[in-house]
A = this chain, B = another copy of it.
């Protein structure tokens, strides 16, 4: 298929059959269980939504059911931080794949408190710390951004999940304090952790997320026609997703799927086809790396079928 002609009409007839195929993996993974509120999600759900650069949206399955975006929030806080700090954001945050679990402290100590990238927990906490220094109301302002990007005023945080995250946040606290010990964390740990946990507990649907990430496929311009980032910043965020977006399975995702993406333990994965479309697939059961099994599979067979790996 020639990419020049790619639009949602060509993808639409594939959604149902590919979803059926991907759904076969349901039952082989495991819903995130580190907090009670996530464990209760029905595991057999599956949804997908695609938004092309003309603003057309197609979807299938549980595509309008809100789910916990979890680490996908790291993508949006990074966008906020780049808008504020641009290149200076990278002074004490890396851009390299970590080669380690997303919540590991080993590397953070070896690297003297500099997190490898903004998509592992330590890096996202550092990003939230930077935002805390410059935003008056980080949680409110993130929700506001997401509502605008997705054109949905009903996006909100699940406060029960946020509280539960906070209660189980000791490892994140350890990371934040370790960065503080290396003078790479300016604000009170408790305050930043609270923001971080609220961000993770935001609930959005596949349709919301496909719309909200469209600007990444569209050189930085969102569905409202507003410039969120400039072209150069946009391609660089996509590059980061391509190398670091799926934790320590980022290499495998690039190999099998071939699109920049970002996953969350709520079971959602967003992916970008630059200049063409954004997509969000959701199914709660995770593989050993914390990425949705069925969502990954769907993306793999979709890009194989359409021959649309960016590589």
Contact = CB atoms under 8 A, between A and B. Distances in A.
A177 B170 contact: yes
A51 interface: no
A190 to B, nearest CB: 10
Contacts of A244: 251
Given A171-B181, A235-B311, A251 B255 contact: no
Nearest to A275: B3
A242 B311 contact: yes
Count of identical protomers in the assembly: 4
Nearest to A307: B231
A262 to B, nearest CB: 13
Contacts of A162: none
Contact of A243 (B189, B232, B250): B250
A148 interface: no
Contact of A181 (B109, B116, B170, B251): B170
Contacts of A171: 177-178, 181
Contact of A252 (B95, B99, B107, B178): B95
B251 A240 contact: yes
Interface string A81-100: 00000000000001111111
A12 interface: no
A107 B101 CA distance: 13
Contacts of A250: 96-97, 243
A266 interface: no
25 contacts: A96-B97, A96-B251, A97-B97, A98-B99, A99-B99, A99-B107, A99-B116, A105-B106, A105-B178, A106-B109, A171-B178, A171-B181, A173-B189, A174-B177, A174-B178, A174-B181, A232-B304, A235-B258, A236-B255, A239-B255, A239-B311, A242-B254, A243-B251, A260-B311, A310-B310
Given A96-B249, A243-B243, 7 more contacts: A99-B99, A173-B174, A239-B251, A239-B311, A243-B251, A243-B254, A274-B311
Q: Which 3 A-B pairs have the closest CB atoms?
A: A99-B99, A97-B97, A238-B311
